[in-house]
Amino acid sequence: MAGVIPEDYKDLFEKKAFANLATLNADGTPQVTPVWVDYDGDYVLVNSARGRRKDKNMERNRAVALSIQDPDNPYRYLEVRGHVDEITEQNAAQHIDKMAKKYMGVDKYPGQPGEVRVLYKIKPEHTSHMG
């Protein structure tokens, strides 16, 4: 399963590439917004805050898809489909700081006061790619 992300697309996770994360609303219709993205060699990781639409959606229905475009070439992209295996607040605050470092070059994520960060571990099941 660790081999599902194609070797020659793993560089996307090293770049400041956004993922567009699709989740399912309560009525089964899709929702999609850009998010920061990470990969730990097994799971694709995204980070959100309690109470947001995508948080509620993934708590209700674990099926997701992500599209990750190469910031250096929009015609090169990886699509990942899978399910959220784990939703946890543990290490979510540290993880968003790691993402702030990667995407913004800062040590501390400038979040909202009182915001509770949540980490979603997505098991890739299918991928497609172009470019």
Cα dihedral 102, 87, 92, 117, rounded to 10, equals 100
What are the beta bridge partners of residue 77?
69, 130
Considering only residues 86 through 125, tell me which ones interact with a second copy, judged by CB under 8 A: none
Considering only residues 11 through 70, tell me which ones interact with a second copy, judged by CB under 8 A: 18, 20-25, 28-34, 53, 63-67, 69
**Smallest distance from a second copy to CB 74, Å:** 6
Report how far residue 118's alpha carbon sits from residue 101's, in angstroms, rounded to the nearest whole number: 17
127 near a second copy, rule: CB under 8 A: no
Query: What tokens appear for 42 in the block?
Result: 């097994």
Considering only 1-9, 38-46, 76-84, 105-113, which stretch makes contact with a second copy by CB under 8 A?
Answer: 76-84
* Closest to 122 in 3D by CA, of 61, 79, 59, 64: 64
CB nearer a second copy, residue 51 or residue 91: 51
Tell me the Cα Rg of the chain.
14
Q: Give the footprint of a second copy on this chain (CB under 8 A).
A: 18, 20-25, 28-34, 53, 63-67, 69, 74, 77, 79, 81, 128
